[in-house]
Structure 1
Amino acid sequence: MTESSDEILDRTGGRYVEPGGEFTRDQRYIATRITADGRTGWPVEPGRYRLAVSRACPWANRLIIVRRLLGLEDAISMAVAGPTHDKRSWTFDLDPGGRDPVLGIERLADAYFKRFPGYERGITVPAIVDVPTGQVVTNDYAQMSLDLSTEWAAYHREGAPDLYPERLRAEIDEVNAAVFADVNNGVYRCGFAGSQQAYEKAYHRLFDRLDRLSERLAGQRYLVGDTITEADVRLFTTLVRFDPVYHGHFKCNRQKLTEMPVLWAYARDLFQTPGFGDTVDFDHIKRHYYEVHRDINPTGVVPLGPELSNWLTPHGREALGGRPFGDGTPPHPRSNPSTPPTPHCPSAECEKGPLLYRRR
């Protein structure tokens, strides 16, 4: 499991970088599961739970994508925190009055303390909160996304893809483990390295894995099988942040994503697939990393670049075959007024695509 920016900030007393050493994660999470049979005491129940996220966070972005692909929007509501936070946790400053309208709280920390008074670990997103009691249930995001595919299957939309097919689970798990260790976590190991040696070790490990992923994807459209799976979701949320944040801010600068032809085409293919790009908010992403990580970026200045309209250019990956949703169908166009608009439809009422540009 992973440790997000707020957790690291809490654990280190305001620092992200420990001078002289490698970045390591505290992977202790609230492992409670919501299950179809209710064996944990938290049964699957539509309308009972609220998913707390930030669009800035790559781990939360995975849950947003999976929820949308599976059509669980009506079964699990979503609370969206703002892109920045302080040491005390994520806040719902995007909502009127700075308070989540369903949970009635200003800070996600309140849901954690409601269940665990004096909770000492990080207040992380994504998290699932039990609405009737206001208590956090889990922040074990890797298991959360798998459970959305398996435990919540009775409430998937008609035509929902199988993101975790049983016959491919061993391979998906293997790919996910390597991608997490070297890529998802690898960019943080570069950015939060406390020594030259630690940084160089992480840097080479990251790009060695990206090279191997490029080789794998040169001849197949998706990471495992011929449809989108959990593995693609987990890689995508790092790739989509690579040029706006990780290349410069985290010093992952051997190449930009746009200079890695296979991965760039693969990422654009997913970005243009309903359920992926329409969950991405580049403004929130950049503001989070550049404004919150003050020991890396002391001024808090947020860069204006890079150019983002190229995410909508043709990718040519259809030639490799594959069917994004298998025997299923794409999710319906979004209707939530908080959904980011497309660059071609500047009105906030247009809810069919990704947010590429936003005036602050």
Structure 2
Amino acid sequence: MRIDEITGAVVSSNPESRRSLSNQLTSTGAVRILADCDYCLSQNDVALRRLVEAGPKIVLVDMEDAKKAIASLKTIQHALPAAWLLVVSESMEPQSIIEAMRAGAREFLPAPIASKNLSEALRRYVDHSLRSSETSLKGKIFSVISAKGGSGTTSVAVNLSAALTSCPDSTVALVDLNSPIGDVAAYLNLRAQYSLSDVLEAGNRLDSVLLGSYMSQASGIAVLPGPREPNAAQKLDWQALPHVLELLTHSYNYAILDLPSGMDPEQLDSISHFSSAVIVVLTPELPALWRTDRLLRFLEKAHSNEKVRLVVNRTAKSDEITVKEIENALKYPVFSQFPNNYKASIQAINSGIPFVCVNHSSLAHSYAVLVERLTGHAIPRRRRSVFGLFR
């Protein structure tokens, strides 16, 4: 990045201060102002939405009203985690500086801003950006799909996502691509403000910062729910999906996609090429076996068969079709299997908390095994307390 490629925004309650600070940034010849707005006191503020849509690389916040400025820093830092936040203040009291830094500020500039101080702050931002780009993230996408509805793909996607958060220094995203309406939000008891519709509608404006602002948090996972209305999926611009998938790999260590059983072949072909693994879920029953065979044949034609990870869900000793028979019929090895535990599963759905977060069962442990096989990271098995033995 060159120092003349910086985009910026100014936040202040005083219109005159916004103009003055914007002029100072512009006069350096290094910054192009994309937006100026009032303080952003909540995630629902119109001012914050303007900032997010503009996507500036740096944001200069006026500390004229210290309380509102601190609140704005926290709000902006959450919505624009990649933005470099600068603060300008007439007060240089240590406590004010500490509060601003804790709220997300990277630079604290005394007012009025000296040209030298501003240039040095911009240079530090450029140096930081160059170092970050040298170690840019390239995450993995794990797609979860079944050939037959009711096989438990959403449960697998949700609990796999939760289990992946236990990997060292991991960031995990869960994207609901089920249509017409997905169940990820319901499984996590999540009332999200934004959905997949908003992301796809963003088009060319979408970058990692804007994508992050559309995500909701649940159980340590960044969640992007599916469309809210049944007819919304028909109106989505699915051609924008590859761009979204690319951004996911640069924004998160792991991204889990919950796919519908009847997904459009072209979309599935595109998604499988972005995926590090395609987790095909089936239950030990004949209709699921027949449909899974057809899905596997399609993935072979799409040259994605080497990415297939076959997972058998809800297994039991009394199953008439064994795992070995499934392998023989499909001519694919079973990568992992999950024992049937209806009680743990339904409790997790009703509570909105993935069972891998709270449960000590063999079902929960099987997800730790799956994570280790997918990533190479071992997750310690949860142990019951001595009191848990009597429950």
- TM-score if structure 1 supplies the norm length? 0.26
More strand by share: 2
Which one has the largest radius of gyration? 2
Higher relative contact order (CA 8 A, sep 6+): 1
- TM-score if structure 2 supplies the norm length? 0.24
More helix by share: 2
